[in-house]
Structure 1
Amino acid sequence: MSHALIVDDDVDAATMLAALVAAEGFTVACAHTLRDARASLAMQPPDLVLLDLHLPDGNGMSLFDEGGLLANSQVVLITGQASLDTSIQALRLGVVDYLIKPLKQTQLRGILSRVVKPSVARAELDGAMAEWQKSGRFGHLWGRAPAMERIYQQIARVAGTAVSVLVTGESGTGKEVVARTIHDLSRRRNKPFLAVNCGAISPHLIESEVFGHEKGSFTGADRQHQGFFERAAGGTLFLDEITEMPAELQVKLLRVLETGTYMRVGSTQVQEADVRIVAATNRVPEQAVTDGKLREDLLYRLNVFPIALPPLRARREDVALLAEQLLVPICQSEGTTKRFTPAALAKLTAYRWPGNVRELRNVVQRSYVMSDGAHITEEWLPSDELQLPPDADGAALSPVPTAEARPAQDCVTIPIGSTMAQAERQLILATFAHYKQQRERTASVLGISLKTLYNRLREYAEDDPAEGKRTVELGSSLQ
């Protein structure tokens, strides 16, 4: 039977909490001062410590400084408000979760259901790192590059906690894969993992999808609907393209993060949210705040633990490993085994990969289909020098040089003093026009998804009426 220690100077509150914890099958001890807590920890090391910050003889955090007293215990803070500063300090010390006063029984039960001995959690993480050193795989991620090793260390550190994570990186770098790996290494691994693309849901429906709605709350609501928070209860909710979420909904998401409660659309009944949030964006978060795409207070709440994914071109040594691993399930599903030749792997490694791992996956699939025999050669692999179609006389036109070697007339001039948003706008529109409104090629060259390209073009039409008609015409082919 697991043992819990409650450290709280409020005797009545501690007694009530002890009864709730005991009802969940724990043995319980109470301490009302730091001195009593030290004695209880030395006498019977608990599996779980519910620790109040404010005690008569000091701050509860000071227990972390005392000779490993909490080394074999999971610590949950009891606090009136989980502030950003407290979250960061608690993360550094090893706190795994919060109980916010007034205590909610549902939240307490969720925490108690996820108690894992620190020694067991450390063994699981050690096993994941050992597997990476052996095969190059860490959770759902692959790669041996130093930049990825740093990512794995960050995931290992944050997975066992309850803090929010913000994953940034170019489109196609694997932000959802990072979120799933965090979930699978966390104490929530036996509960749902739900991934939501905030840019793929209609702004008129997104609140209902996120929080749910009651029957009759609006036209067409013929039954009660569970939102993402209810469906992911006890697990992890991954919010991709968080900057595409409407501003009014960002306010409600912030309230959920601060209070742990929400209401369905059309309801007055408060629901408790027991969900770990991992958010992601391919924008620069600070610039998104400046552009009005992300609330500053929501950024601070999400960005407790930032993880910045490197683009594939920054870890070229991983390209061959990734290509071979992406090929395995294709061979299994198609029933025929093929392998890349050394020359093919060398060509893959030399390519710049503007679409990152997503583009690599598509290239592997296409090259498997197009290659005859058991070997995939470099014939069907991409190159940074792109051949244009033949002209009217049938002669092949000159190849288009890469961005680095492109002549001045194919460049975009950005005046000094331009904002990042203005530079991005100018680059997207110029690239789209240069490739004659070929949406797939434009998105690939820019390293963004088709949905992101469409969203940007729609924004430009809304922000600049004088340019709106032309931009809408360009963007209409994306629909």
Structure 2
Amino acid sequence: MRPDEAQASTIDTETQRPGSDGNAAPSAERLPDARDHYGLLYGASPAMRELYQQIEKVAPTSLTVLIIGESGTGKELVARTLHEKSPRSSGPFIPVNCGAIPSTLIEGELFGHEKGSFTGAIQQHAGYFERAAGGTIFLDEITEMAPDMQIKLLRVLETAAFHRVGGTEQISTDVRVIAATNRDPQLAVQDGRFREDLLYRLAVFPLRVPPLRERTSDIELLARRFLDQLNAAEKTRKRFAKGTLDNLRHHRWPGNVRELKNAIHRAFILADEEVEVRSPEPAPRNRRIVRRDGRIELAVGTPLPEAQRELILATLAHFGGDKRQTASTLGISLKTLYNRLDSYKHGGADA
């Protein structure tokens, strides 16, 4: 999930259930052992309450933490909550995706470089560790880091010091390190992808984030929260259609909370008043269509109805759900757009 997903919002009052006397039951926030959220995390299931307790214990310390969880479970939100609950909360929080930085650049990005240290280094550059001084650095997808960088990172963790690329000055670092992986770290060690000594150094306090299928009682709470956020952002009052929440609870959500949020967002765009998620679509296996930075990339051979469908939905999302502007931009009538969207809502590829 991204940082904007972490903004607080009011949970729909419909999530409160009446007590036996007919009055509303006390909200979960007022019960010390039944919180429905903690920091930036939401959920009242036993698995999430256990996670909250673990975070509460380790957050005030300086221990290195390794967060383990499937993609889409909210590992960055766990890291940000750890930071916000720590004595370093007034310092910077620097997230780094280790799998997204080329191996030829990651050392300079993490530790910085001196002017003239390589072609194109026209000035001194402060790396992430230097910029995170007094705060927290979050190393996501840590098991994707190149082996030679794992050695250098281990050295920094052991000495609390580093050198910029091309430099000789030793720079002390005052940074708390939180790492995360969506792999089983022990299997990554066995496969030779990850150093065992680095694993032991990072996993001083491991935290496991439960997948959504292990916390199904949280699905309604999360779904209502996401709908509240969308209604607030778009100044609408859309509501879930009858049976939608039951349908959401019975889906396995292999993409976890991220998949749930995306499914609701897509259904929200398609809905006029009632948001209906009949059967959440699995992620495409063949990657024929990829959305990236306001563009759509189509593989040769993509069926025309499928390409049209993706173009319409992407354009509608780009204009924030404005159907009239979407129809005008695509050069189709508003009636045609409504027909297409109605077809997509019921599983069709074309109107």
The alignment status of 1:326 with 2:226, answered yes or no, reads: yes
How far apart in 2 are the matches of 1:224 and 1:266? 10
Alignment partner of 1:144 is 2:44: yes
- 1:372 corresponds in structure 2 to 272
CA displacement at 1:337 relative to structure 2: 2.1
CA distance in 2, matches of 1:198, 1:439: 25
The change in CA–CA distance for 1:334 and 1:383 in structure 2 (over 3 A counts) is same
Find 2:128's aligned residue among 223, 228, 231: 228
- Residues in 2 aligned to 1:436 and 1:199: alpha-carbon distance in whole angstroms: 22
Partners in 2 of 1:169 and 1:354 — Cα distance?
12
Task: For structure 2, list consecutive stretches of 5 or more residues without a partner in the other structure.
Answer: 1-27, 291-351
- Distance change >3 Å, CA 190–CA 130, structure 1 → 2: farther
Question: Normalising by the residue count of structure 2, what TM-score does the alignment of the two structures yield?
Answer: 0.71
Preserved contact between residue 234 and residue 274 of structure 1 (Cα < 8 Å) = yes
Kindly state the Cα deviation for residue 341 of structure 1 after the two structures are TM-superposed: 3.4
User: In structure 2, which of residues 243, 247, 256 is the aligned counterpart of residue 347 of structure 1?
Assistant: 247
1:363 aligns with 2:275: no
Q: Is the 8 A contact 1:240 1:281 kept in 2?
A: yes
CA distance, structure 1, for counterparts of residue 188 and residue 39 of structure 2: 30
Question: C-alpha separation between the residues in 2 aligned to 1:383 and 1:185?
Answer: 37
Higher helix residue share = 1
Task: Point out 4+ residue stretches in structure 1 off by more than 6 angstroms.
Answer: none
Structure 1 134/150 Cα, relative in aligned 2: closer, same or farther at 3 Å? Answer: closer
User: 2-side partners of 1:347 and 1:312: how far apart?
Assistant: 14
Q: Deviations over 1:123-165 (max 9, x none)?
A: xxxxx98577576111000001111111011100000000000
Q: Which runs of 5 or more structure 1 residues have no equivalent in the other structure?
A: 1-127, 387-431, 441-479
Q: CA RMSD in A?
A: 2.1
> What's the TM-score, normalizing by structure 1?
0.53
Identity between Structure 1 and Structure 2 (%): 53
8 Å CA contact 1:207, 1:265 repeated in 2: yes
CA distance, structure 2, for counterparts of residue 342 and residue 134 of structure 1: 28
Relative distance call for 1:133 and 1:351 in structure 2 (3 A) is same
Aligned residues: 263
**Corresponding residue to 2:192 among 292, 297, 301:** 292
Q: How does 1:67-466 map to 2 (within 5 A)?
A: 136-373=36-273, 375-379=274-278, 381-382=279-280, 435-436=285-286, 438=288
Q: Measured at CA, do residues 340 and 204 of structure 1 come closer, stay the same or move farther in structure 2, by a change above 3 Å?
A: same
Residue deviations 1:399-429 (CA, integer Å, cap 9, x gap): xxxxxxxxxxxxxxxxxxxxxxxxxxxxxxx
Higher relative contact order (CA 8 A, sep 6+): 2
Judged with a 3 Å threshold, the aligned counterparts in structure 2 of structure 1 residues 332 and 217 are, in CA distance, closer, same or farther, namely same
Q: Say which SS state the counterpart of residue 348 (structure 1) adopts.
A: helix
